């Protein structure tokens, strides 16, 4: 899935509280590319990937995903497209506290019409592949930060999205586990020709990137 950002701008607030989060981003991400976006806190990284994933709407400019400007679609079509084609790993995980790991991971499949039995079977399998098969019936409050991270990654991958967007996917993981997760993501990109965008502060995982883009103060500096 190809992504093109043209003169992308995003502001929050008005008057004295107005913040320019993005200041004219020009970016092209090739299909099958693993692109890493790095930069200091507040540089606009999360805002950028949230617009690409159609979670936020830009103030100016265009963001095309497979030549579709998702933010010009009606809300229902935008949600449907995102649920079928985009997987997002949130930095804060966004797991549903009263659901088990299996139920959390199965949500995208249920939304797309898969039966509960089939969705939960697939969820258990991907959780096992991510090394937390023993936690399939646990709720998020019983998990460590690293385990919750892996559940969030499983949920982003389960519906076989064309575009995977990850906000700090290794931030709560030890070095060994972080490398294993990146090896898994790299393998998915290579074998299945997925497009993967990763926001990260973690210098340990830069080796996995095809390309690194650096943001500062809402602009791409390299």
C-alpha closest to that of 207 among 222, 187, 176, 186: 186
Q: Please, what are the domains in the chain?
A: 3-220 (3.40.50.300)
Residue entry with tokens 């943001």: 215
Judging by DSSP bridges, how do beta strands 19-29 and 34-38 pair with one another?
A: unpaired
3-class DSSP assignment, residue 116: helix
Q: Is 90 exceeded by the pLDDT of residue 45? A: yes
35 vs 13: CA distance, rounded Å:
30
Average pLDDT score over residue span 145-155: 91
128 vs 105: CA distance, rounded Å:
12
Element (H, E) at 13: none
Residue 217 binned pLDDT confidence (cut-offs 50, 70, 90): very high
The half-sphere exposure of 39 on its side-chain side, counting CA atoms within 13 A, is 23
Average pLDDT score over residue span 13-19: 91
C-alpha closest to that of 62 among 98, 109, 27: 27
First to last CA, the chain: 23
What pLDDT, in 10s, does the model give residues 81-92?
988 999 999 888
89 vs 184: CA distance, rounded Å:
14
What pLDDT, in 10s, does the model give residues 175-215?
888 888 898 889 888 888 899 999 998 888 999 999 999 99
Name residues whose C-beta falls within 8 Å of residue 132's C-beta, 6 or more positions apart in sequence.
101, 143, 147, 150, 151
Give me 155's structure tokens: 């949920």
Q: E strands, 49-126, where?
A: 60-65, 68-69, 86-89
pLDDT of 3 reads: 96
Query: Considering the entire predicted model, what is its pTM?
Result: 0.90
């Amino acid at each position: 899935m190809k992504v093109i950002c043209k003169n992308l701008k995003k502001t929050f607030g008005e008057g004295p509280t107005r913040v320019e989060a993005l200041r004219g981003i020009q970016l092209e991400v090739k299909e099958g590319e693993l692109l890493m976006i790095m930069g200091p806190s507040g540089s606009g990284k999360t805002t950028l990937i949230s617009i690409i994933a159609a979670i936020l709407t830009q103030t100016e400019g265009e963001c095309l995903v497979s030549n579709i400007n998702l933010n010009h679609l009606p809300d229902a079509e935008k949600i449907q497209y995102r649920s079928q084609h985009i997987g997002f790993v949130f930095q804060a995980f966004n797991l549903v506290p009263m659901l088990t790991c299996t139920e959390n991971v199965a949500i995208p499949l249920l939304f797309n019409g898969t039966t509960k039995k089939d969705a939960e079977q697939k969820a258990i399998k991907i959780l096992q592949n991510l090394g937390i098969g023993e936690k399939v019936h646990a709720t998020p409050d019983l998990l460590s930060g690293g385990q919750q991270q892996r559940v969030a990654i499983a949920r982003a991958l389960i519906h076989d999205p064309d575009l995977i967007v990850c906000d700090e996917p290794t931030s709560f993981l030890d070095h060994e586990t972080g490398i294993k997760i990146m090896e898994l993501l790299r393998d998915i990109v290579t074998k299945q020709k997925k497009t993967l965008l990763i926001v990260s502060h973690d210098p340990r995982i830069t080796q996995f990137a095809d390309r690194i883009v650096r943001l500062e103060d809402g602009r791409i500096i390299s």
